[in-house]
A and B are shown apart, each in its own frame.
Chain A
Amino acid sequence: MDFQTVGNILLQVLVGGLSLGVLYAIVALGYTLVYGVLQLINFAHSEVFITGGIVAYLVFSGLQGAAMNGYLKLLLAGLAAMAVSGLLNVLIERLAYRPLRGAQRLVPLITAIGVSLVLQDLLRFLVGLRGQFDLSVPLPQGFANPITSVLGVNVSNLNLQVKDIILIVVAALMLVGLNLLVNHTRLGRAIRAVAHDRQTSGLMGIDANRIISLTFLIGGALGGLGGVMFAMKYQALNAYSGTVPGLKAFTAAVLGGIGSIPGAVVGGLVLGWLETLLGVISLFSAIPGLSWLGAIKAEYKDIGAFLALILILFLKPAGLLGRATTEKV
């Protein structure tokens, strides 16, 4: 194994990890927003997210024959998914979480797990009405085309497709948009106020219930768009496939420091790169002295994510970019 091969593999990891990482990052935003406001791990976000993927499947297969620009189809799928997932998230909050405000911490968490399980089977039922379990997403034309050169540099050996670029661009737009929303608008200020101190913000004339609903709407919509990106990237999904990426995205949020938007991005990227690297690391066993790497199977990449989580929480409990909170006694 020469340097060029090693370099190629590493470059591949960098690019593949980037597209995976931003996917985690955009799903992680939904967790982070809700956690920031309610201190609740919204387990049901996995299902909200995969609902977006299913909507994308429906839109793409409904428009399969239509003579329509691929990007327009993507736009339609994105809008539909954002609407459905956002409203679903609001509904969940209204029915399941709101009655439990002020209860012990574990109570809403267990409820969230329950909601997630209920949604899984409801989704399976709805999807199953079409007679299928595993969905295979038909991509708009051109999305799977390989990219051979970027700015004149030949990248044909990188295994890069148009959809990867779309994913990265969409994610960047979402991150910038959310950042603007949270930091530079009235609504964003209200969200931050409620996150900081719900009661005092109430005294300042902020309707906390409305703000929380809006936060769930935004978080759900982001999750839905993430689901569209997931459907586009993997082209295969079913009602249960939200769980593992949802968990990884949450891991990413915690890694970066939950509640922090740049943290979600950093966490997502770290996780994406780590996972992609672990997936191909056994290739390096050809290098003399590194033959033990051959024992690391690609399947163990999921373990890497969780071990990273434990390590980070152990060393830096507030996450990479999080601020340590002081315990109120």
Chain B
Amino acid sequence: MTSLSASPRGQAGDRTLPLLAYTAVTALLLIFLRGQVADGPARLLQPVLFGAFLLSLLFAYQWRAAGWAKTLVFAAGIGFVLPFMGRDNTSYFDLVIQMLIFAALALGLNIVVGLAGLLDLGYIAFFAVGAYLWGVFGSPQFGTVTGNAAFAGGVNPHLFWLFIPLAVLAAALVGVLIGLPVLKLKGDYLAIVTLGLGEVVRIFANNLGVTNGPQGIDAIQSAPVPWLNALARNLGFSEDQYRLFFLYLLVLVVIAIVILVNYRLDRSKIGRAWIAIREDEIAAQAMGVPLLRTKLLAFATGASFAGAMGVLFAAKQNFIDPKSFDYFQSIGVLSMVILGGMGNIAGVFLGAVVVTLLNLMVLPTLSEVLQQSFPNLNQNLDPSKYQRLIFGLVLVLMMLYRPEGLLPSARRKAEMHADEPAPDSIAEQNALEGDTGSEVYSPGLSTIKENDRTGSER
């Protein structure tokens, strides 16, 4: 059910009115209460309202409602409310762009893990490739490295446009280079090797002269777009927000492309080959799927998304250092994919938004509130220090209780619950998918319940 179009979900009736009402209420509350909130616990209202508003976009996607209402909600949300909040408070802009960057990363990893079933724990390395590519060339670092005064500010910033496809190519190439030796390996071994290779990229970033080691690279440029700047000025943005305004629009365009590619791939012959490999390598191979080539393609496609987003990330941050690209970040992206629902575009998007919101807005606000309310509080209890705990809990609890994610794809759901006695719903899902032959549920082949003493009970 990873449909992009407005499709009916569930048997609920038309929800056009509730959708419009919910969106209007949350958007207006968000806008009018933005300056009103005092200190103390009331500050938490801000992230809650923001999250509630973002939910309206999800509802617009999920609910059965009139097409024009959905379009209106999306257009108003993305075209007005988010930029408006960003203009009012730059940190919102930063947050939204970061969310979208992570969403694209998660969509890329979704191809590798969700579709092809290759657990890649070093995914962030490809992001680093893109970020450092533009970071080195688009900053004074290039002048320092080449010793050429002509590049004292980096290459011509117009080349930014060239570097996005370059980063896509470079990341895909690195993906193939890394993939070639390791894709022969299976599940766990692949996970540990990709983890190691991710670390290798980080260690190089930390020690090479080109990347300026742990000090990182500063003053990274972004492309100059005079007419957009003029537009931004007319819309009331301040000068230091021009860059974010531009990047916001650019990220939206890139995300649209990423979603489109993801969607097309999911439905293509290649997508089915990936799923076949995920389910059973040997059977897939027997059916004529070329294993290595198909896996490499998944690796390279996922990597190329990350490469493009790396360029945008470097341009947004102005500054990059190896810390942004460690193992922990890879796990963060993985937890987004798993939280939302592996294999489902909307689910992955949801996961990215929830996790980013939690990390960049909810936890820091909670920390501030706690510190204000209890000035003598132990530093140790600072909520913003517990990102690992949250990622970890997300991974463990989802695996234990809802392995298909918050918004599962129907296909995935059927797989994860194949041993539960619910043939009706499965048949229904198959019917919904318009899929009659490929997803046969056969009770005879489901996991046999062993007795307690063998230790194999679920």
Interface residues of A (CB under 8 A from B): 39-41, 96, 98-103, 105-111, 113-122, 124-125, 128-129, 131, 194, 198-199, 201-203, 207-209, 212, 243, 247, 250-251, 254, 297, 299-300, 302-303, 305-307, 309-310, 313-314, 317, 327, 329
Contact = CB atoms under 8 A, between A and B. Distances in A.
Contacts of B455: 98, 101, 194, 198, 202, 207-209, 212
B338 interface: yes
A110 to B, nearest CB: 5
A103 B453 contact: no
12 contacts: A99-B458, A103-B403, A117-B392, A118-B389, A118-B392, A243-B327, A247-B192, A300-B203, A300-B207, A306-B193, A306-B197, A317-B185
A173 to B, nearest CB: 29
B434 interface: no
A300 B213 CA distance: 13
Contacts of B240: none
Interface stretch (B78-86, B157-165, B394-402): B394-402
Given A118-B389, A118-B396, A199 B450 contact: yes
A101 B207 contact: no
Interface in B138-193: 181-182, 184-185, 187-189, 191-193
A113 B331 contact: yes
B395 A110 contact: yes
Contact of B282 (A113, A313, A329): A329
Contacts of A122: 389
Contacts of A212: 455
Contacts of A110: 119, 334, 338, 395, 399
A125 B381 CA distance: 8
Nearest to A314: B181
B241 to A, nearest CB: 35
Nearest to B379: A128
A314 B457 CA distance: 35
Nearest to A210: B455
A103 B378 CA distance: 41
A251 B450 contact: no
Interface residues of B, number: 54
A207 B457 CA distance: 13
A251 B392 CA distance: 22
Interface of B: 117, 119, 121, 181-182, 184-185, 187-189, 191-193, 195-197, 199-200, 203-204, 206-207, 282, 327, 331, 334-335, 338, 378-380, 385-386, 388-389, 391-396, 399-400, 403, 447, 450-458
Given A41-B192, A314-B184, A102 B392 contact: no
A329 B121 CA distance: 27
B199 A101 contact: no
Contact of A208 (B191, B379, B454): B454
Contacts of A102: 447, 456-458
A105 B380 CA distance: 36
A314 B187 CA distance: 15
B427 to A, nearest CB: 23
A207 B184 CA distance: 36
Contacts of B338: 110
Contacts of B392: 113-121
B391 A117 contact: yes
A39 to B, nearest CB: 8
Contacts of B388: 117-118, 120-121
A201 B450 CA distance: 13
B453 A202 contact: yes
B196 A309 contact: yes
A105 B187 contact: yes
Nearest to B391: A117
Contacts of A107: 399, 403
B266 to A, nearest CB: 19
A305 B200 CA distance: 10
Nearest to B121: A113
Contact of B203 (A113, A303, A327): A303
Instruction: Pick from A108, A113, A243 the residue with the most CB of B within 10 Å.
Output: A113
A99 B400 contact: yes
A247 B187 contact: no
Q: Which 8 A-B pairs have the closest CB atoms?
A: A114-B395, A117-B392, A306-B196, A208-B455, A202-B454, A118-B392, A128-B380, A121-B389
Instruction: Pick from B334, B335, B455 the residue with the most CB of A within 10 Å.
Output: B455
A131 B378 CA distance: 9
B415 to A, nearest CB: 8
A313 B395 contact: no
A128 to B, nearest CB: 4
Contacts of A96: 396, 400
B192 A100 contact: no
A129 B403 CA distance: 34
Given A106-B117, A208-B455, A317-B189, 7 more contacts: A103-B399, A114-B399, A117-B395, A119-B392, A207-B453, A208-B454, A314-B184
A101 B188 contact: no
B453 A208 contact: yes
B399 A306 contact: no
Contacts of A101: 455-458
Contacts of A113: 121, 331, 334, 392, 395
B93 to A, nearest CB: 29
Nearest to A298: B207
A226 B27 CA distance: 56
Given A114-B393, A327-B282, A310 B453 contact: no
Contacts of A119: 392
A310 B196 contact: yes
Given A96-B400, A117-B392, A297 B207 contact: yes
Contacts of A198: 454-456
A95 B222 CA distance: 49
Nearest to B280: A329
B203 A199 contact: no
Nearest to A197: B454
Contacts of A125: 380
B119 A117 contact: no
A127 to B, nearest CB: 9
Contacts of B386: 121
Contacts of A329: 282
Contact of A114 (B117, B193, B396): B396
Contacts of A39: 188
B393 A202 contact: no
Contacts of B191: 41, 109
A128 B382 CA distance: 11
